[in-house]
Every structure is written in structure tokens, then in C-alpha cells.
């Protein structure tokens, strides 16, 4: 029988690549959701004929309803509509929403007992304790889609005892500003920051890659996905993005996953695990690359990584603060309201001035989110 799949964030970079995987594997699409892109989701509705579709933006949802009135797809609106889709019984819910807007839909999908293919790292950064606890209680898997975490997940296959794992090593491309010093980052433009050397991604994560906040978020994501201490996770800059991440075991054996940088590999693996199936992704030719390089991150220039490391070290709601402050600062930079280096300043200062508690609820995370966004906006 065909696998039933819901995609949250279907119009984005990961969402559209997930639908390419669907085209090849012939999954049945149960529901599609997005933020506000009427045009793309209309095309997707016509092609994939989902039972439900939802747009978080209520006005856009009204428009979509009229546009697809001739189809059998029921259109829903708002966060409630997105959550309704997430909560429908499916084989997998792939969450490729950007930002912590994905947290509530993830929790809803878990509550319904759906397996989660998770690209939306902000969900784990903001609400990792809730998400992992609920997933465990419901017996559902959190299957990583983020390439580094998929690499670790793949490198962990065959690990008989978690005690044998010594260290996780996340690779980082270094982004468009690799090699630059702080003074050189002073006046960089949005266009320069959006020019990623290896990956074509949504705007928010591309800016996060330029500031290396992305690696900080991924460190926190790895803590929750693999139940590791932040001090047992290292980061190595690897410019070619061929080795997607590594696991070091107690015998000092290191196992890694390699491949060309193409998100369709980790997306597909999340949906076919524990099996592998043929993929149209280009074969890796090590000899074409010739050289693979490895360097220590420049923590002085790219301070966001250590802000995230501190935040997860302190625990509680601090990672949520770092994430929401970054969402607000990242957007403000893209809108031309702040300079590039202010992203780091604002995120660091929000974490320093925040309040936290250890046992948090979804309401606490949402309140923290509001606080951190207001904190950043009030300083712009």
C-alpha cells in the first residue's frame, strides 16, 4: 500500500524537494500546508490532489479556497488549519515549516501518533524537552531531515549501545563569509549574505548559515535528537559539504556519511528508513573533489555558535530565547533594518537578559517567544 504523507511547509525549499521525492516514490499526499504562497500551493493541490490544504495566512487561505473551489481539496486557514492537517492520521508528517511556527503543528502531529520527518530545527531548539518527551510517550520517531543530523542518524545505525558513542562531530560549510574577520563583516549586504556556496535554501536558513547561527541551532537540535550533552558535540568547518557529519565511538573509530550536497538524500532517507531506495541524486565522485578540507570554526568572528552552546548549557527556556531573538533579528537584517553583526549582538543580549524555568509548557515557550521578539524589536 502507498504510504500516506502530509507535508507542512510544502511551498518552501525542503517542501518542494520533498514533493520531488514523492514524484519518484509515489507516496499518497494526504495534506499540504504553507504560510501564504497561494500560487505554488494551488499548483501542488492540482497535481497531488490532497484531501486537505491549509495556509497559515487567513486572507491567503480565503483566496486559495476560491481558486481551488473546482477541486475536492478542503482548504483550511490559520495555525488551527495547519494543526488540523498535522493531526490527521498519516504514515509520516514531514515538517518543513521555517521557524518556531512549526512547534505547535509538530506537537499536534505527535499527539496523533504520526511519525515525524523533521526539517524544522527551530521546533527542537525552542521546545526540545516537550517534543522529545511527547514523542517518547506516544512511541513516535523523530526522523531527522537536516543533512548533518541525517548523517549522524545514518552513522549510528548498527550502534548496539549508546554508551559506545563518544562524540558527535557536526560539519559546517562555513557559509559565504568563511575566512572573513569581524571588521570585514561590518558592512556586508543582504545579497552577499544570501549567496551560499554549497546549498540553495530558504532565505532565513541562508542568513543563519552566513552568521553560523545555523550551526548553533543544529548543535541544540543534535542534543535533543540524539540525547547528547552539548559538551560532547564538536563542530568542524568542512568547506565542500561532502562529509555531512560524523560519530566518534569509544574505540576512536569514526563513522561518517558522505554524498553530494543535495537535500533529497536526507529527505528520502527519513521517509524510507530503515530501507534505502534508488535516488536520482548525483553520485559522489571523490576524485572530482580531489581534496576535502577541515578547519576549526572561527568562534571570535562567528559568536552565534557559542551563544547557542551557552543557551543549551543553561537549559530551560534559554534556547527558545536564542531562537526567537534570532528569528526576529534575522528578519530585521533581511528587511534592511539592522546590520549583519547586530544579529549576534541582539541574540546574545536577549539570552543574557532573559528569564527561564526548567519545566516548561507550550504556553511558556510561546510567552518566551513573544518576550524575545519584543526584546529585539525594542532595540532596533
> Does the footprint of Mg ion cover residue 104 (CB under 5 A)?
no
- 171's enclosing H/E stretch is strand 165-172
**Is the CB of 85 or the CB of 130 nearer to ligand NAD?**
85
Q: Which residue lies nearer to ligand NAD by CB, 199 or 273?
A: 199
Q: How far apart are CB 281 and Mg ion at their closest, in Å?
A: 16
Q: What CA–CA distance (Å, rounded) separates 49 from 46?
A: 6
Quote the cell numbers at residue 328.
Answer: 526576529
* Shortest CB 233 distance to Mg ion, Å: 14
Contact 5, 92 (CB under 8 A): yes
Chain contacts with ligand NAD (rule: CB under 6 A): 9-15, 34-35, 37, 56, 82, 96-98, 101, 119-122, 146, 199, 201-202, 204-205, 263
> What's the grid cell of residue 43?
499548483
Contact indicator for 216, 132 with CB cutoff of 8 Å: no
Nearer to Mg ion, 60 or 213 (CB): 213
Asked whether 221 and 127 are in contact (CB, 8 A), the reply is: no
Nearer to Mg ion by C-beta: 17 or 147?
A: 147
122 binds, among ligand NAD, Mg ion, none (CB under 5 to 8 A by kind): ligand NAD
Q: What is the nearest approach in angstroms of ligand NAD to the Cβ of residue 44?
A: 10
In the complex, least distance from residue 10 CB atom to ligand NAD, rounded to whole angstroms: 6
Distance CA 17, CA 340 (A): 29
Smallest separation (angstroms) from ligand NAD to the CB of 74: 17
Which grid cell sits at 255? Answer: 563513522
Helix (H, G, I), strand (E, B) or coil at 237: strand
By CB under 5 A, tell whether 146 contacts Mg ion.
yes
> CB under 5 A: which stretch of 142-150, 186-194, 284-292, 313-321 binds Mg ion?
142-150
Bridge-based pairing of strands 92-95 and 115-118 is parallel
The total of other beta-carbon atoms located within 10 Å of residue 182's CB is: 13
Residues in touch with Mg ion (CB under 5 A): 146-148
Amino acid at each position: 500500500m502507498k504510504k500516506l504523507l502530509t507535508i507542512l511547509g510544502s511551498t518552501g525549499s525542503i517542501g518542494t524537494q520533498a514533493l520531488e521525492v514523492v514524484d519518484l516514490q509515489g507516496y499518497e499526499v494526504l495534506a499540504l500546508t504553507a504560510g501564504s504562497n497561494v500560487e505554488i500551493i494551488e499548483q501542488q493541490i492540482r497535481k497531488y490532489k490532497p484531501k486537505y490544504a491549509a495556509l497559515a495566512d487567513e486572507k491567503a487561505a480565503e483566496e486559495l479556497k476560491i481558486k481551488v473551489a473546482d477541486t475536492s481539496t478542503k482548504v483550511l486557514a490559520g495555525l488551527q488549519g495547519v494543526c488540523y492537517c498535522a493531526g490527521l492520521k498519516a504514515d509520516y508528517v514531514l515538517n518543513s515549516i521555517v521557524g518556531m511556527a512549526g512547534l505547535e503543528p509538530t506537537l499536534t502531529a505527535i499527539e496523533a501518533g504520526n511519525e515525524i520527518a523533521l526539517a524544522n530545527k527551530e521546533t527542537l531548539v525552542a521546545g526540545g524537552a516537550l517534543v522529545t518527551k511527547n514523542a517518547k510517550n506516544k512511541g513516535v520517531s523523530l526522523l531527522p531531515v537536516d543533512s548533518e543530523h541525517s548523517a549522524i542518524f545514518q552513522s549510528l545505525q548498527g550502534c548496539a549501545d549508546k554508551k559506545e558513542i563518544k562524540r558527535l562531530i557536526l560539519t559546517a560549510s562555513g557559509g559565504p563569509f568563511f575566512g572573513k574577520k569581524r571588521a570585514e563583516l561590518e558592512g556586508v549586504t543582504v545579497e552577499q549574505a544570501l549567496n551560499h556556496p554549497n546549498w540553495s535554501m530558504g532565505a532565513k536558513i541562508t542568513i543563519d548559515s552566513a552568521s553560523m547561527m545555523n550551526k548553533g541551532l543544529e548543535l541544540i537540535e543534535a542534543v535533543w535528537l540524539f540525547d547528547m550533552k552539548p559538551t560532547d558535540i564538536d563542530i568542524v568547518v568542512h568547506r565542500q559539504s561532502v562529509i555531512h557529519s560524523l560519530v566518534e565511538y569509544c574505540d576512536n573509530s569514526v563513522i561518517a556519511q558522505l554524498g553530494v550536497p543535495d537535500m533529497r538524500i536526507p529527505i528520502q532517507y527519513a521517509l524510507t528508513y530503515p530501507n534505502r531506495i534508488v535516488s536520482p541524486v548525483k553520485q559522489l565522485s571523490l576524485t572530482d573533489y580531489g581534496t576535502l578540507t577541515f578547519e576549526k570554526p572561527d568562534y571570535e568572528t562567528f559568536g552565534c555558535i557559542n551563544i547557542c552552546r551557552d543557551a543549551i548549557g543553561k537549559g530551560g527556556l534559554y534556547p527558545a530565547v536564542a531562537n526567537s531573538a534570532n528569528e526576529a533579528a534575522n528578519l530585521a537584517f533581511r528587511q534592511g533594518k539592522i546590520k549583519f553583526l547586530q544579529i549576534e549582538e541582539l541574540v546574545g543580549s536577549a539570552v543574557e537578559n532573559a528569564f527561564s524555568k526548567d519545566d516548561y509548557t507550550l504556553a511558556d515557550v510561546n510567552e518566551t517567544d513573544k518576550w524575545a521578539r519584543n526584546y529585539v524589536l525594542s532595540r532596533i
